[in-house]
A and B are shown apart, each in its own frame.
Chain A
């Protein structure tokens, strides 16, 4: 079914402001940035993690390491799909053991991606803690997972789709809500 963009819910400035606020919350909650590392979930979590690290660096005058995580190998639906999803690269340029890992993704929906990401991180070592930052929380959780930092809460119906478009990946900067429409 084709998708139609219904409304833009965040523009370039709104995204930037949300990230700045999240960055301040991260500093506040962790009382600084000691042992804090950012891990972006591929694909759009990665540029978001990089941007947050940059803002954090400016706030606290400190470099925050950023890793990228691909969760494909940890999905819970692999045996149910006909096609195998493409496996992207996981690259964490640090050891997660004893770190405060801030996991970053664009949209929090069913929670299954985050579940897979938690398993993927724990397989790499035992962090001191894992926190979750998302740009959009659209509800409809299927497992008990919540975010520590949320850019914007967006109540949605399951028929709707949230598209986060980022300059690094999509060439534009916006969050839109779209909906499936039956063809006439």
Chain B
């Protein structure tokens, strides 16, 4: 079994069969994480390169551990200390890495579409680890994986995505992935943080958090991306929390067994209150575990022998 394309760039472009294949492979691979010695020889001799033009803890560590658990070697380029600082172009940096023998590039970049560009330049596969405000496909996959672990299905589930949809590549990947698999997705947030055409993606948009959360099976709280705000889109963090943050009171509108998700890093007391983030309904740390399993699956499937 193989994925259709060379790369993993977006969930918008990924067909449902490939999504299912990655998820079912991840389900099998997750067992490795519970072993005393977390190592299988599967990707011996392969080199995974992480090229991050933006800060990251979770995603980068998650990819590197996924590679190491499967015996691949990893190199990580932190752009702050690399020749990127001397003005080298993305294509040149990547081509140099490619001729040194790497087998896959995992890239995060602040420009939407940068990974698509790189995939055209390189022969080796590219995995998008977040490009600008566009997509973060492996996050979308790990979110779907986590929901499946709790709800055993996606079709027919009501998922409410709250907050900064405008700047969120996570929201976009989740919306594409979840709607493709038959979930009913709604979004809620202040108008300044909802893209005007958002309903064209097949979701319902609300300004009141309560309206989106009503009867939801899954509540997905997005991080307020303070670093991407170019103008003041809301008066203050405090006021944002009062009107749009997920707290215990708003959580009551959801189904009794609803789960609460967040891609991290959390702004506690802003988009989510601390008691909700730490409540038994929160599956935020499960998402992190799923992340390693899903990335192992992605690396395994994308690094198949190509004669």
| Interface residues, chain A, with chain B CB atoms under 8 Å away | 70, 72-74, 78-91, 119, 123-125
Which of A72, A83, A87, A90 has most chain B Cβ within 10 Å? A87
Bound-complex Cα distance A70 to B27 (A): 13
Supplied contacts A81-B305, A82-B2, 17 more A-B pairs, CB within 8 Å: A73-B40, A73-B41, A73-B42, A74-B40, A78-B304, A78-B305, A79-B45, A79-B305, A81-B304, A82-B305, A84-B301, A84-B303, A87-B29, A87-B297, A89-B31, A119-B41, A124-B35
A84-B300 contact, Cβ under 8 Å, with A79-B45, A90-B28: yes
Q: A78-B42, A79-B305 are in contact. Are A84 and B1 (CB under 8 A)?
A: yes
Given A87-B300, A91-B31: A74 and B305 interface contact (C-beta under 8 Å):
no
Chain B residues closer than 8 Å to A90, beta-carbon distance:
28, 31
Q: How far is the CA of A73 from the CA of B25 in the complex (A)?
A: 11
B22 to nearest A CB, angstroms?
11
Query: Which residues of B sit under 8 angstroms from A72, Cβ to Cβ?
Result: 42
Chain B residues engaging chain A, CB cutoff 8 angstroms: 1-2, 24-25, 27-29, 31, 35-37, 39-42, 45, 70, 297, 300-301, 303-307
Docked pose: A81 CA to B42 CA in angstroms: 13
Give the residues in chain A near B305, CB-CB below 8 Å: 78-82, 84
The CA-CA distance from A119 to B297 in the complex, in Å, is 21
Out of B31, B36, B42, B301, which one reaches A74, CB within 8 Å? B42
Say which residue of A79, A85, A123 sits within 8 Å of B1 (CB atoms): A85
Contacts of A86 in B (CB 8 A): 1, 24-25
B301 touching A123, Cβ below 8 Å: no
Q: Using Cβ atoms and an 8 Å threshold, which residues of chain A touch B2?
A: 82-84
Chain A residues contacting B42 (CB-CB under 8 Å) are 72-74, 78
Q: B36 — which chain A residues lie within 8 A by C-beta?
A: 125
Shortest Cβ distance from B29 into chain A, in angstroms?
A: 6
Contacts of A83 in B (CB 8 A): 1-2, 304
Q: Tell me the minimal C-beta distance from A169 to chain B in angstroms.
A: 18
A123 close to B306 (CB less than 8 A):
no
CA distance A79 to B307 in the complex (A): 8
- One of A79, A82, A89, A123 near B35 (C-beta < 8 A): A123
Residue of B nearest to A90 (CB): B31
- Bound together, the chains give a CA A84 to CA B28 distance in angstroms of 14
Whether the pair B27, A89 counts as a contact (CB closer than 8 A) is yes
Contact with B28, one of A74, A81, A87, A124 (Cβ below 8 angstroms): A87
Nearest to B305 among chain A residues (CB) is: A79
Residues in B with CB closer than 8 Å to A73 are 29, 40-42, 70
A125 to chain B: which residues have CB within 8 Å? 36
Q: Which 4 A-B pairs have the closest CB atoms?
A: A84-B304, A79-B305, A87-B28, A73-B42
Min distance, Cβ B18 to any Cβ of chain A, angstroms: 12
Closest-by-CB residue of A relative to B3 is: A84
Bound together, the chains give a CA A91 to CA B32 distance in angstroms of 10
